[in-house]
């Protein structure tokens, strides 16, 4: 069996990395294009700072980049918090799908995120000040309404 002949960027371990520039919604642009900087692979912020940065990116209508911030925390968080951060990252990806004109994908991700958030609604100790019941309600409403034409205003905290 031969090796796939893909042209993807690879790191020193051979893992795929995409160094192509990205637009505001995370879509890859041609090499050499001016794009929006993405989150570096070694991104590491404490939860409170990550939430503030993700909120800043959501407010700037850059949900893909907010997702990258939240995903970085998800991958490095303690086991008891991982699904919370995964849900938050899915919310940002769901909004990304909305902004890209993919309502079906948006609805699936937002609904999945709301289901995951439900698990944290009962225990506010592990939520870093996030009003999980309010956020869950907002995400469920967003999944039902799918406002494609306007930027989504979402408060994580």
Q: Which residues pair with 16 in a beta bridge?
A: 10
pLDDT bin (cut points 50, 70, 90) of residue 148 is low
pLDDT one-digit tens code per residue, 22-41: 877 777 888 888 887 776 66
Side-chain-side CA neighbours of 20 within 13 Å: the count stands at 12
**Structural domains for the chain:** 47-145 (1.10.3450.10)
Distance of alpha carbon 91 from alpha carbon 117, whole angstroms: 10
Quote the DSSP letter at residue 103. Answer: H
Give tens-digit pLDDT for 41-94.
667 789 999 999 999 999 999 999 999 999 999 988 899 899 999 999 999 999
| Residue 135 buriedness (CB in 10 A; 0-12 / 13-18 / 19+) | buried
Q: What is the dihedral of CA 7, 11, 17, 19, to 10 degrees?
A: -80
């Amino acid at each position: 069996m031969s090796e796939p002949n893909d042209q993807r960027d690879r790191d020193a371990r051979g893992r795929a990395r995409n160094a192509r520039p990205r637009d505001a919604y995370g879509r890859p642009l041609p090499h050499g294009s001016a794009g929006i900087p993405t989150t570096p692979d070694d991104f590491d912020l404490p939860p409170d700072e990550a939430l503030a940065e993700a909120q800043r990116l959501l407010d700037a209508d850059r949900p893909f980049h907010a997702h990258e911030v939240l995903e970085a925390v998800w991958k490095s968080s303690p086991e008891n918090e991982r699904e919370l951060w995964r849900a938050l990252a899915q919310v940002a990806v769901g909004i990304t799908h909305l902004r890209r004109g993919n309502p079906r994908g948006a609805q699936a991700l937002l609904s999945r995120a709301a289901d995951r958030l439900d698990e944290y609604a009962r225990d506010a100790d592990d939520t870093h000040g996030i009003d999980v019941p309010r956020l869950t309600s907002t995400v469920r409403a967003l999944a039902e309404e799918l406002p494609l034409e306007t930027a989504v205003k979402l408060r994580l905290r």
